[in-house]
Amino acid sequence: MTDATEDRPGPSLSPGELERYRRQIIIPGIGERGQGRLKAARVCVIGLGGLGSISATYLAAAGIGYLRGVDCDCVEPGNLNRQVLHWTPDLGRPKAESAREKLSALNPEVETETVRLEVTPETVGEAVGGCRLIVDATDNLATRRVLNRFAVEQGIPFVFGGVEGFGGMVLTVVPGDSPCLECLFPARDRSGEREIGVAGPVPGVVASLQALEVIKLILGLGSPLLGRLLLFRGLDMTFRELRVDRNPDCPVCGPARRKR
């Protein structure tokens, strides 16, 4: 299907890695072969805020071989209720620097690279280049549209996550196999242009789900959220699912686009 899910054995594991990842290697369906696939994977997390703090942490801990984090901002006091990769002593530091330090300390086996870059149509190739999976951990729809378009054009799976207040949502896009983010949000949307409130644990929930989707995609296990928008409502503690259909006229993944 894609590079991320090709049936390749992956590199062999050192005794230290076998010990570190023991509790996931013993999961039926993973084994040393699956762990090797995680080690061979190249994933980028775009945004190192509330969502990216969590997804990058779990992906580094899981032994993703190459992990790139991209963020252009510095740590501000208002980030600290939810952006758990950044601590009070990090105030004023670039998030890219603070994140690289924590992720490398968590798992030195992972090649962690962080880039201080704003993702735009001009820079998205630099941000994502060489990675085979994209985690959307941004906080605005404009950047997500840029990522979605790049992912579809390049055939790179893309895991979208969004949060607001006490709730959030997750959708996985596998180009060619599923609707894309533009199919879900077809109109120009104003969201993301205003500051939104977020309860700290909410990005923790959503980004954990995103990290799990990434791990499943790499391992080729289970059913990803393709065409299924998972909605989480923290206030009543419910999850529900909305079907997302492919928009036949989608300017990103529709036939008009594909013909170009």
* Interface ranges with Zn ion (CB under 5 A): 180, 182-183, 250, 252-253
Number of neighbours of residue 27 by Cβ within 10 angstroms = 12
Query: What angle is formed at CA 30 by the lines to CA 27 and CA 159, rounded to 5 degrees?
Result: 105
Task: Report how far residue 238's alpha carbon sits from residue 232's, in angstroms, rounded to the nearest whole number.
Answer: 6
Answer for the pair 13, 37: CB distance below 8 angstroms, yes or no: no
The residue among 48 and 183 lying less far from Zn ion, judged by its C-beta, is 183
CA 224 to chain centre: 13
Q: How far is the CB of 173 from Zn ion (least distance, A)?
A: 8
To Zn ion, the closest distance from the beta carbon of 183 in angstroms equals 4
**Token pair for residue 2?**
């894609």
Nearest residue by C-beta to Zn ion? 250
Least Å distance, CB 18 to Zn ion, is 41
Alpha-carbon distance 181 to 227, whole Å? Answer: 10
Residues in a beta bridge with 50: none
* Least Cβ distance, residue 69 to Zn ion (angstroms): 26
Smallest distance from the beta carbon of 235 to Zn ion, in angstroms? 31
CB of 185 to Zn ion, least distance (A): 10
CB of 12 to Zn ion, least distance (A): 39
Cβ-based nearer residue to Zn ion, 236 or 245 = 245
Q: Which of 165/176 has CB closer to Zn ion?
A: 176
Instruction: Closer to Zn ion by CB, 187 or 237: give it.
Output: 187
| Residue whose CB is less far from Zn ion, 32 or 177 | 177
Q: Which is nearer to Zn ion, 156 or 250 (CB)?
A: 250
Q: Given the complex with Zn ion, which of 141 and 180 has the nearer CB atom? A: 180
Query: Is the separation of the CB atoms in 167 and 225 below 8 Å?
Result: no
d(CA 225, CA 237): 19
